[in-house]
Structure formats: C-alpha cells, structure tokens
Copies of this chain bind each other. A is one copy, B any other.
C-alpha cells in the first residue's frame, strides 16, 4: 500500500528533483545564518539557481519556510517515536526527548523564528505537527501514568512552551538552556508530592 496518491501526482523531472533538494538545503543554511529576513534571491544564489526556479517549487516564501518547518517536525516526530519505542524510565524518556529536540532547534534559526514568530507558518506543517503531538502525547501520558508529570499537564501545552523557548533561542543574549530547565521543572511532578498541592 503506497501512500495514497491522488491523480494530481506528476513524477517530477530528474533535474527538478535535484534542484528542489538544493533549494531546501540552501534555504536551511541561509535562513539559519541570516534569520528569516534573508531574501529569496539569497536562497536562490546559495542554491546556484535562479529566483524563478525557487518560485516554481514554492509558490511563495512562506511555503518554503513551511517546508523547512515540516521537515524539522518530521525529525522531532521520529525522535519521539524512537524514545517511545526505547522504553525506560518514563520521565527520563520524555525529558530526554525534549532536550534532544531543543538542541536541534537551537541550531536552526529558520525554524526558531518561524515557530516563535509568524503564525502563518504553523499551518504549512499541520499534518506533521499533529503527528508529533500524537506521539509526544503518548510519551506524556506514560509519564503521567507513572506519576512523574503533573496531572493537569497535556500534550497540548507543549506547543506554547516550545514557542516560548524558540523566542528565547532567537535572542542570543538569553540562555535558553536555563529557560528549558525551568520549564521542565514546571512540567515535572515532584517526588514527595503524594498529597497533590
């Protein structure tokens, strides 16, 4: 059962496929270095391609950014899947995943800004986002069941927290690791808290 491919599915010519890849690669680099205000022309140049080509593959800048975000989300989901499969201590699994993904995000200025800033970009990666939320949710539920995460915490709380973390990452004068530390502490259910509050 191959992925459901509706009629509108052209194979894409060989050079086109190559270029698309080059463009994404270049976009990742350029946006990563100059932030999201880097120009389309810059991306095109870095990819060794004309601007027109970029626009043939991505109808507008936002779509390009969206694809980058979608790819990151896919990575995050893969990591989550892995953490879930690995088993082990429920809290450690969750915490480790968050740290690992944060570390990836920290290097990717493009995605940082997209997530911390413009709302429009989220939409472009909606399916990946939902998938991530699903797998992450499973991890969270497991830790919650083990009493290692505050009972009122949900997977739906994560996006906002990550959005905040991204905003911090985007500002070099801040120490995002401290931020993350505090957030993790806030998510966690503390030992000796048998009586709730």
A interface, CB within 8 angstroms of B: 116-117, 119, 150, 153, 157, 159-161, 163-168, 171-176, 178-179, 181-187, 190, 192-193
Contact = CB atoms under 8 A, between A and B. Distances in A.
Main secondary structure of the interface of A (DSSP, over half): helix
Contacts of A190: 190, 192-193
A160 B150 contact: no
B163 A168 contact: yes
A183 B175 CA distance: 15
Given A117-B117, A193-B190, A179 B164 contact: yes
Given A163-B167, A167-B164, A171-B119, A157 B178 contact: yes
Nearest to A159: B174
A51 to B, nearest CB: 24
B159 A163 contact: no
Contacts of A166: 167
Contacts of A178: 157, 160
Given A164-B168, A183-B186, A192-B193, 4 more contacts: A160-B168, A160-B174, A182-B183, A184-B186
